[in-house]
Amino acid sequence: MLLPELRKEVLEANLELVRRGLVLYTFGNASGISRKDGLVVIKPSGVPYGKMTPEHLVVTDLEGKTVEGTLRPSSDLPTHVLLYKVFPKIGGVVHTHSEYATAWAQARKPIPAFGTTHADYFHGPVPVTESMTKEEIASEYEKNTGNAIARVFEHIDYSAVPAVLVANHAPFVWGPDVGIAAHNAVVLEAVARMAYLTLSINEKAESIGGDLHDKHYLRKHGSSAYYGQK
Amino acid sequence: MLLPELRKEVLEANLELVRRGLVLYTFGNASGISRKDGLVVIKPSGVPYGKMTPEHLVVTDLEGKTVEGTLRPSSDLPTHVLLYKVFPKIGGVVHTHSEYATAWAQARKPIPAFGTTHADYFHGPVPVTESMTKEEIASEYEKNTGNAIARVFEHIDYSAVPAVLVANHAPFVWGPDVGIAAHNAVVLEAVARMAYLTLSINEKAESIGGDLHDKHYLRKHGSSAYYGQK
Amino acid sequence: MLLPELRKEVLEANLELVRRGLVLYTFGNASGISRKDGLVVIKPSGVPYGKMTPEHLVVTDLEGKTVEGTLRPSSDLPTHVLLYKVFPKIGGVVHTHSEYATAWAQARKPIPAFGTTHADYFHGPVPVTESMTKEEIASEYEKNTGNAIARVFEHIDYSAVPAVLVANHAPFVWGPDVGIAAHNAVVLEAVARMAYLTLSINEKAESIGGDLHDKHYLRKHGSSAYYGQK
Amino acid sequence: MLLPELRKEVLEANLELVRRGLVLYTFGNASGISRKDGLVVIKPSGVPYGKMTPEHLVVTDLEGKTVEGTLRPSSDLPTHVLLYKVFPKIGGVVHTHSEYATAWAQARKPIPAFGTTHADYFHGPVPVTESMTKEEIASEYEKNTGNAIARVFEHIDYSAVPAVLVANHAPFVWGPDVGIAAHNAVVLEAVARMAYLTLSINEKAESIGGDLHDKHYLRKHGSSAYYGQK
């Protein structure tokens, strides 16, 4: 069996999404990539999480062609594959319909950076994609979802803002590996919820200042980080 | 004992509603029909879920007359029976007072299709019934609840929009079998919640475009579906 | 030990409030009365629920004087006792700070009857007390809380609307016995939550019509009731 | 090992925050002080709660220098230490990003005292700090967070209002010992949630009157308290 360790990590990331209440039934999927082998491991489509084992996961190449596995891969595979191509430093991708992040996506509003919880993870607002055209929807829809995401990040650093809201759909989230991608998805949902509450309390709430935003982001990221044990 | 398999499915659907937090105490009921036998299996009225076994369920004919069972059937039985008559392709009916769907019913607003989660299950907004007249309430109230639902679907395909909000009451949901009806009820509640959040974030949020709505609905339904394992 | 059966019922009602998420730490209390003996059984003050046994409960007379028990009774005892005096048909009283009902009490707004869930239990809006005077607060505060409740029900049938919101405080709920009082408190919280959501979706939402309200209340209560197994 | 009892109390307080849903992943920390020894026991930085034992905790002096322990202390240690210096009667400090309290902090609004739940614990609104300057953020940020808190309490009694919202960040909470500090943090979150709901129901909701506020606060605190068993 190919990539047994990556299969375990991808399965564990999928289960973390369930434990944290981010997915209802089968509405979510996580994948990981082995850059060395050019192979992606992804959740199968529509299989209940409770019965999933590493063997059920599907291995594909970077064209989305199945290399190992008898089940059909997640129907969102073409989006994952496209993100691996355009974001060369990422190692994992997660897609959920978590409720608050999805509500922001449906409202077509970026999630403002209202506080340090946001700033610890996302170095700027979490952006929303533009609408897709009729043609983009009709043909290769999932791949074009990835293209819509890629366009948003032409002017944003995808490493510093590892999430996006697909308009009228739901979030995609990534990270250096699939475990971090799932962790980021959980934090995104918490941040989306608190931003919702913040605006409800004060419709004129202002984003966190740049100095404080940088401070918190850089406490956790980069060469001067001093959060955690290393 | 009649219809032992259907009894199990109906019991399991009732329990799924409890597990998913859709029912408080005994505020909900699920039924299934054997079209071949013309018999309906339904939850008894006011019996705690924790102690329910397949034997407790009540079997009735399509006039709502008990054929097997010593307990009184759910008081909403006449609504279920009427829906089985007017919606010939359905195999299960579920009624809950789940909180967000009920709030929309109380607000007397249809649930707009704000995103792909909605579009995956409901091919259009989830409609609300009209008020019932004094006479409809006074006599055969539960049957007339079914009639009020039927009137809404004179111009909507009940297979493509398998749910309705009864005004000032709560949702009724259906499907090809009772398990799918319960699944649809769980998704309806999630969709109702996300629509509520969407409007709170952006009171001018717009419904999903027709192209994207069709795309998602048809990814899961009909002859071109490509979601899941078949 | 006096009243062993009533002690069990009162303990069970207190635990039901915890299981249903209505109380945080020790913020709640339930009591029951033996009308025959003129004795009240109530939760002790500030004792964690997890360690409570029937022996910890306190038995008092209708003046609030302890008849059996070494612990101090709930500080809200004088409110309970006053309600037993002015509402001669009730057998149990429950007080919680459950979040949605408390928010309505803090907002000093009665909970409108927006739907049949409400109508099944409360035959009209759930009212709010008036403010208490400086003198009423300074002396015999808890007894005067009961008096403020009693004044609200001079023109409302306490059997048909078994709950009240004490202004800037929280709900008191009652019933024919303490188990039903706890059940009513749980339903009140669900109704308070759905009313909140209803107004958020439609600020012009209207109360349920009188015909439908009566129909649902009388399906469950009185001589023509046909809900449940009797 | 130094301070074994205090280590246990601090660990237990950290775990209470998790059990009550106040912390996501490692977003929170609790500490306790031994005034006699001039030593602080605090959670290590970024270590999962599930694996934490008393040995993992870090002992520091009042300058924040590690006296015992191999792990790095919570990055918020300088804030804790400063609070111990300026608030001489406190024995424990807790910091969380609990969702409702954090939303008020992000909205930069004090939490009004809308009811008796609030009044039982906080003898006035829960205040918000002012913004920190660019210089305060750039150098000794965590210590300056403590200074910003201290400035708020120049005119408020920190014993009577044992919590603060740090602007665009989250709450800090304290108490006579770390267990009470954690308890206060849990109540703060409930109070923050109910205040949010109160304003959503009635945007003109008014704070509780002074007489009632005093009554409830003094039922639980000070020489005339009569709540609980002592």
Confidence of residue A227 (pLDDT cuts 50, 70, 90): confident
pLDDT band, residue D223 (cuts 50/70/90): confident
Let me know if residue B105 belongs to a domain: yes
Q: Residues B141, B143, B144, B149: is their CA dihedral positive or negative?
A: positive
Interface test with B, best of A47, A98, A109, A168 (most B CBs within 10 A): A168
Q: What are the residue numbers of the active site of B?
A: 120, 227
Q: Which of D183, D202, D215 sits opposite C109 (nearest CB)?
A: D202
C129/A228: higher pLDDT: C129
Q: What was the pLDDT predicted at C227?
A: 78
Please report all neighbours of C, defined by 3+ CB atom pairs within 8 A.
Answer: B, D
Among candidates C44, C103, C137 on the partner chain, residue whose Cβ is nearest the Cβ of D212: C137
At C230 the pLDDT is: 61
Rg over CA atoms, chain A? 17
- Local confidence band at C47 (pLDDT 50, 70, 90 cut-offs): confident
Q: How confident is the model at residue B230 (pLDDT cuts 50, 70, 90)?
A: low
pLDDT in the model for residue A230: 60
Q: Calculate what percentage of chain D has a pLDDT beyond 90.
A: 91
Q: Which percentage of chain A shows pLDDT scores above 70?
A: 100
Residue D227 lies in a domain: no
Interaxial angle between packed helices D141-152 and D77-86, expressed in degrees from 0 to 180 and rounded to the nearest 10 = 30
- Contacting C residues, span 201-230, partner chain D, CB-CB under 8 Å: none
Region C207-221 average pLDDT:
92
Which of C213, C192, C201 lies closest to C109 in space, CA to CA? C192
Q: Can you give the pLDDT at residue C65? A: 98
Residue A39: phi and psi, rounded to 5, are: -125, 145
Confidence of residue D31 (pLDDT cuts 50, 70, 90): very high
Q: With CB atoms and an 8 Å threshold, state whether A107 touches B205.
A: yes
In this prediction, residues C4-8 reach a mean pLDDT of 98
Using one digit for the tens of pLDDT, what is the confidence trace for B41-98? 999 998 889 899 999 999 999 999 999 999 999 999 999 999 999 999 999 999 999 9
- Give A227 to chain D, closest Cα distance, Å: 6
pLDDT interval class at D230 (50, 70, 90): low
Q: Find the residue in D nearest to A118 (Cα).
A: D169
Phi, psi of D39 (to 5 degrees): -125, 145
Instruction: For residue C173, tell me if it sits in a domain.
Output: yes
> Where is B184: in which H helix or E strand?
helix B178-201
Residue C197 DSSP SS3: helix
- Asked if residue B67 belongs to a domain, the reply is yes
Kindly state whether C194 is in contact with chain D, defined as any CB-CB distance less than 8 angstroms: no
Is there a contact between A108 and B205 if contact means CB atoms under 8 Å apart? yes
Judged against a pLDDT cut of 70, whether residue C91 lies above it is answered with yes
Judge whether B228 lies within some domain: no
Q: Which pair of structure tokens corresponds to residue D39?
A: 């030593």
Contacts with B, C 171-190, CB within 8 Å: 183, 186-187, 190
Confidence label for D111 from pLDDT (cuts 50, 70 and 90): very high
The pLDDT, as a whole number, for residue A214 is 93
Residue with tokens 């004792």: C47
Share of chain B above pLDDT 70, in %: 100
- What are chain B's partners, defined as 3 or more CB pairs within 8 angstroms? A, C
Structural domain contains residue C228: no
Instruction: Over range A75-98, report the average pLDDT.
Output: 98
Residue-level pLDDT at A149: 98
Q: Which residue has the tokens 């209002």?
A: D161
Considering CB atoms only, which of C201, C211, C226 is closest to B107? C201
Pick from C44, C103, C138: which is nearest to D201 by CB?
Answer: C103
> What mean pLDDT comes out for the span B151-171?
98
- Please report which confidence band the pLDDT of residue C228 belongs to, taking 50, 70 and 90 as the band edges: confident
Looking at residue B195, its amino acid is A
Taking residue C15's Cβ as centre, other Cβ atoms within 10 Å add up to: 16
CA-based nearest residue in chain B for residue C118: B169
pLDDT tens per residue across span D135-189: 999 999 999 999 999 999 999 999 999 999 999 999 999 999 999 999 999 999 9
Asked whether the beta carbons of residue A201 and residue D104 sit closer than 8 angstroms, the reply is: yes
For residue D167, which amino acid is it? A
Min Cα distance A210 → chain D (Å) is 9
pLDDT in tens, D81-95: 999 999 999 999 999
> Terminal CA-to-CA distance of chain C, rounded, Å?
34
| Chain C residues whose beta carbon lies within 8 Å of the beta carbon of residue D205 | 106-108
| Average confidence score pLDDT of chain A | 96
Q: Cβ–Cβ of B187/A99 closer than 8 Å?
A: no
Out of D120, D196, D214, D226, the active site residue is D120
Check residue B222 and give its pLDDT: 86
Half-sphere exposure at residue C15, Cβ-oriented, CA atoms within 13 angstroms: 12
The set of chains that have 3 or more CB pairs under 8 A with A is B, D
At B21-43, the pLDDT tens digits run 999 998 999 999 999 999 999 99
Token pair recorded at residue D189? 């979150």
User: Nearest CA to CA, how far is C37 from chain B (Å)?
Assistant: 32
Find tokens 């071109």 and name the residue. Answer: B224
Has D120 been annotated as catalytic? yes
The reply to whether residue A196 touches residue B194, judged by beta carbons under 8 angstroms, is no
The CATH number of the domain holding residue D211 is 3.40.225.10
Nearest CA in chain A to D104: A198
Distance from CA of C211 to the nearest CA of B (A): 6
Average of pLDDT values for A173-195? 98
Give the DSSP letter string of D87-144: -TT--EEEEE--HHHHHHHHHT--B---SHHHHHH-SSPBPBPPPPPHHHHHSSHHHH
Question: C209 and B168 in contact by Cβ < 8 A?
Answer: yes
What is the radius of gyration, based on Cα positions, of chain C?
17
What are the backbone dihedrals phi and psi of residue A108, each rounded to the nearest 5 degrees, phi first? Answer: 55, 45
Q: Which of D44, D70, D68 lies closest to D57, judged by CA?
A: D44
| D91: in domain | yes
Chain A residues lying within 8 Å of B215, measured CB to CB: 137-138, 141
Write the CA distances from A186 to A21, A128, B97, integer angstroms: 9, 18, 29
Helices (H), B22-115: 77-86, 99-107
Mean residue pLDDT of chain B comes to: 96
**A111 φ/ψ angles, rounded to the nearest 5 degrees:** -85, 115
Structure-block tokens of residue D89: 């009667």
Read off the pLDDT band of D222 (50, 70, 90). Answer: confident
* Cβ–Cβ contact B66 with C under 8 A: no
Q: How confident is the model at residue B229 (pLDDT cuts 50, 70, 90)?
A: confident
Instruction: For residues C50-79, give the mean pLDDT.
Output: 96
User: In terms of DSSP H, where are the helices of C22-177?
Assistant: 77-86, 99-107, 116-121, 134-138, 141-152
Nearest chain B residue to A98, by CA: B194
Point out the catalytic residue in the list C120, C121, C211, C214. Answer: C120
- Residue among A18, A20, A37, A38 at smallest CA distance from A28: A18
Q: Considering its fold, how many domains does chain A have in total?
A: 1
pLDDT at A55: 96
C141–D114 C-beta distance less than 8 A: no
Contact (CB<8Å) A25/B186:
yes
Q: Is A227 one of the annotated active-site residues of the chain?
A: yes
Report whether pLDDT(A226) > 80: yes
- Residue B192 in domain: yes
- Residue of A25, A106, A108 for testing the chain B interface, max B β-carbons within 10 Å: A106
Q: Which two tokens stand for residue C30?
A: 């339930």
Inform me whether the C-beta atom of residue D138 falls under 8 Å from chain A C-beta atoms.
yes
pLDDT of residue D74: 97
Q: What is the pLDDT of residue D229?
A: 75
Supply the range of the domain harboring residue C118.
4-221
Residue C222 pLDDT greater than 90, yes or no: no
Tens of pLDDT, residue by residue over D182-221, are 999 999 999 999 999 999 999 999 999 899 999 999 988 9
Which of A25, A37, A214, A227 is flagged as catalytic? A227
pLDDT above 70 for B138 = yes
